A and B are shown apart, each in its own frame.
Chain A
Amino acid sequence: MLEYLVRRICYMVITLILVSIIGFLLIALPPGTYLDVKIAELRSMGTNTASVQIEQLEKKYHLDQAIYVQYWNWITGFVRGDFGRSFLYNRPVSELIGDRLLNTVLISVSTIIFTWIVALPIGIYSATHKYSLTDNIFTVIGFLGLSIPNFLLALVFMIIGATYFNQPIGGLFSMAFRDAPWSFARFIDLLKHLWIPIIVVGTSGTASLIRMMRSNLLDILNEQYVQTARAKGLKEWIVIYKHAVRNAVHPLIMTLGMSLPAIISGSTVVSLVLSLPTTGPLYFKALQNQDMYLAGTFLIFLSVMLIVGNLLADLLLVWVDPRIKY
């Protein structure tokens, strides 16, 4: 087990290095740099930057160096906890991302929990009550959930919430609680805001999990050992939950690791629409403005989350199914 862990962690580091190189190159690839944006802005204000000043700016942002030097300076800073400076905000990147990463993890984890809590029972119910009216209803809802784009759902929720329920739009806290210290009332306020993003981000995941759970369980219920169990006279719920579901849940756990990036990218669009203080909007702005170091740092952190998520999913699988070799 330990050897397996060490091996996995080595792979993770190598993956991260590759991701950081490719990511950094891609971010730096579009024509022009952040400096062009700044200079254009200055010029629109009727200020001609002298060429000396442009040189100063290039030096300040290290844009006069070759791309691999820029990369090396940036990535070696990581070891010291220095993620570079954001051009856009003229601040060290580390000052900008802390809270947002936390919020992203909060929304992602709550969404995963939500998806599983909703999807598993429904999936099991649908499988054991195949082609019943309720199963058909869940199937229709599931297909709807799969096919409606997240952002559209977010907009619809917002409009319904705003027009009929006086639900505050956007953000994770109301104005009154935003700066307040943690309290029960603040937690309730958070929940009031959190349900929209969770449902919006979780819908398509839930729908696909339901479909998966249903088909897996249907397959398994036809297996001979299930028949044997029934023949032995075991109670139906023991047959289903102890014997069938436990085997049907494998593929779901495998998708858990892969569902992390989907949730992160899904929540970017939703965060933009709902104005959530997650990494998404800042990441998006950084990419738009060629704010290289900020965007690159986000990329690294999101990759870390993805890789760690995958590892956890694999470990979980081992735990669920003792037959798995590693």
Chain B
Amino acid sequence: MRKSSLVMILVIITVIIIGAIPLFAASYNEAPILRAKVERGELPSVEERLPENPLVLKPLNAIGKYGGTWHRLTTWEKWYGLRMSMYGHSYVRWIDDGLDIAPNLLTDWQPNQDKTVWTLYFRKGIRWSDGAPFTADDVLYWYEDLALNEECSIPIPNWAIVGDKPMEVEKVDDYTVKFKFSKPQVVLMELLATWPDGGGDWIPYTSAPKHYLSQFHPKYSDKYTDFIVHEEKQEWWYNPKCPVLTAWMPVRHEPGELLELERNPYYYAVDPQGNQLPYIDRIRVECLQDGEVLKMKVVQGNSDFQIRPGFGLRDISILKRNEEKYGFETLLYDSGSGGGDCFMLNHNNPDSVKESLYRNPSFSRALSHAIDREKIKMMVYYGQGEATTGTMSPKGAWFHTEKGKIVYQQWKNLAVEYNPEKAKKMLDEIGVVDLDGDGWRDKPNGESLELRIDINSALRPGSGRLDTCEITKVCWENIGIKTEINPTENANLNNMLKEGTFDIQVYTVNDGDPLLYPAGVIPIGHEHFAPLYGTWNRLKGTGLLSTELDKKPRDRTPPREKPAPDSPYTRLYDLYKKALITADDEKRAELVYDIFQIHIDQGPFFIGTVNNTPRVGVVSNRMKNVPRREDLALGGFVDPWIMSYSAILNPPTFYIEE
């Protein structure tokens, strides 16, 4: 007993010493502009500003130099592109193109046996950009005072609701919290890594600067009775006064025109030599009104690094021509797109005959066989990418296992072959033949059949999507099906999706994991192939579902309909829901492959064209440490918005060398 406790003590002492070595050894370095401030006494020293155990980011090629301004261009007045390039507020970060997850604000996390309770350990000593410490109270403030407060429009994120009940957050100490769920939350870390610092308008907040924002909160201040001012102040990309955790902090904002950021002196990351990141001092984002002007400006070398919003493959020649003159390089990254522009037939079509046709796999497979994908590949994608029936992204982790590879091939090759004769035969078999002799095939009941592709009218002529539609229209008319392309104003198109009155919509499926982003694969929400069923599924667990049952599905607000229990729409949803609470990894994998199998057996639910076509990026010659395609684990995975692509490239390690 005594001996073993002695050993224990020795071990503990050794651990403490080894653990303490980096503390003593660490001498951190900082940017000259910050050092000047420290010397003037305006800032505490870098050691005091950094957390005990800073995040270490490894630069791609070389240790960088401090200084410079990163010029960026955007057409998004909400600065999405910029917010996507920073992993500041995220608990964890994706690495290796989404194959793995690494710590960010957290240093460690621990689920219990059945994954209902997650203990999260935050990096000790992280500070907001104004120097105030970041603690568990900031997490509690976000969750209890904002998300759970029904007066406030910050919603409870979906990952926090498992088994129809919002999680509970318990503060263990200043740097430890527990997330408690009523059912297993099995993909918590993956979901926390998605949408870094916001892809949309309300970032999926996972913390909020309590010391600043609580002065606008009705509970903490007598001055306010509602959240109008709070909601204005919390948007840090519009409000430079709001403290942030990102590598750069906004210092000036002119709505719709300009956003200027400066390095955050309290950013918690260093490079392997102990230099505090980021290397670049300032970011200046200009908002342009028009995508073509943006291209022109980029071509003139006005942007140091640009992926989004940006270029199509057709722009490569103009980029290449100007590379030397303006000093930049054109990059190509893999998009990881699952099928390029996909055609989604409306399984809740207002026309009941069409509806039953669209639900018949033979019909959609016939349409798929009729599409000349090689032609689309050559004309729209300049020979890049691979013809596909339309799947989830081939980059997705589920397709990288033994079983996954087989499933992927099956799905991809389901109806990919260009075979108009086969297509015609399939249509003949299900009774879609020319009954009135006008040269066009008709519905089985004798009415004339016309497919209508509803697309956004704002698409520029020459955009890839329009070309894809034109080619497909000709292909479908070649097998005798009359097709019309219907450009519709965007608001109107959204309404057609919501009401389920569209006929065929064009959609892209870019994501790799149905459990993280089910769009397009699982009928949830109205944007996909079964809008009314999707809305029904989405509303499950809310009080709204049981109301208006006496009305017709299309007369309800929002329009919705209950899918039959044995239909793929219910089964897909049930499998998805079940997988989300299945703690056992193998069983969960089973369920995910079952989801894919339904798509293979009863699909395609979306008819894809060409997958994994490249995305164009531009990097100026003075910008260093920017990864090229060959430096990346999967060669890039640009398209999924949840991955938020440029953040994964570690912009704080970029530097500028004139």
Contacts and interface: CB of A to CB of B under 8 A. Distances in A.
Interface of A: 30-32, 36-38, 40-53, 56-57, 60, 85, 88-91, 95-96, 155, 158-159, 162, 169-171, 175, 178, 271-275, 277, 281-282, 284-285, 288, 290
Contact of B256 (A44, A85, A285): A285
A31 B491 contact: yes
B232 interface: yes
Contact of A32 (B191, B494, B517): B494
A89 B293 contact: no
Contact of A170 (B204, B238, B288, B489): B288
Given A56-B153, A274-B293, A285-B289, 9 more contacts: A36-B491, A43-B527, A46-B159, A48-B538, A85-B228, A90-B231, A162-B296, A277-B257, A285-B77
B235 A90 contact: yes
A169 B155 contact: no
Nearest to B495: A31
B158 interface: yes
Contacts of A38: 201
Contacts of B202: 42, 45, 47
Interface centre among A44, A96, A158 (most CB of B within 10 A): A44
Contacts of A85: 228
Given A41-B200, A281-B289, A90 B157 contact: no
Nearest to A88: B77
B492 A30 contact: yes
Contacts of B228: 60, 85
Interface of chain A, main secondary structure: helix
Contact of A46 (B152, B194, B297, B543): B194
Nearest to A51: B544
Given A44-B519, A90-B238, A169 B293 contact: yes
B531 interface: no
A158 to B, nearest CB: 6
A271 B288 CA distance: 10
Contacts, number: 134
Interface of B: 77, 150-153, 155-159, 161, 191, 194-195, 199-202, 204, 226-228, 231-232, 235, 238, 255-258, 284, 286, 288-290, 292-293, 296-297, 300, 489-492, 494-495, 498, 516-517, 519, 525, 527, 538, 542-544, 641-642
Contacts of B258: 178
Contact of B157 (A44, A46, A91, A273): A46
B491 A155 contact: no
Interface of chain B, main secondary structure: loop
Contacts of B292: 155, 273
Contacts of A47: 155-158, 202, 204
B297 A40 contact: no
B194 A31 contact: no
Nearest to B296: A169
Contact of A89 (B77, B155, B226): B77
Given A30-B491, A32-B494, A285-B77, A41 B289 contact: no
Nearest to B202: A42
Contacts of A272: 289-290
Nearest to B256: A282
25 contacts: A36-B491, A37-B494, A41-B201, A44-B200, A45-B200, A48-B161, A50-B155, A56-B151, A56-B152, A57-B153, A60-B226, A89-B77, A90-B235, A91-B255, A95-B255, A155-B292, A158-B293, A159-B296, A175-B284, A272-B289, A273-B293, A277-B257, A284-B289, A285-B289, A290-B491
B517 to A, nearest CB: 6
A80 B490 CA distance: 35
A45 B205 CA distance: 12
A46 B580 CA distance: 14
Contacts of B153: 53, 56-57, 60
Given A95-B255, A282-B256, A42 B201 contact: yes
Contacts of B286: 171
A169 B255 CA distance: 20
A46 B296 contact: no
A162 B322 CA distance: 12
A281 B256 contact: yes
Nearest to A54: B153
A288 B159 CA distance: 32
A297 B553 CA distance: 39
B158 A36 contact: no
A45 to B, nearest CB: 4
Interface centre among B201, B490, B543 (most CB of A within 10 A): B201
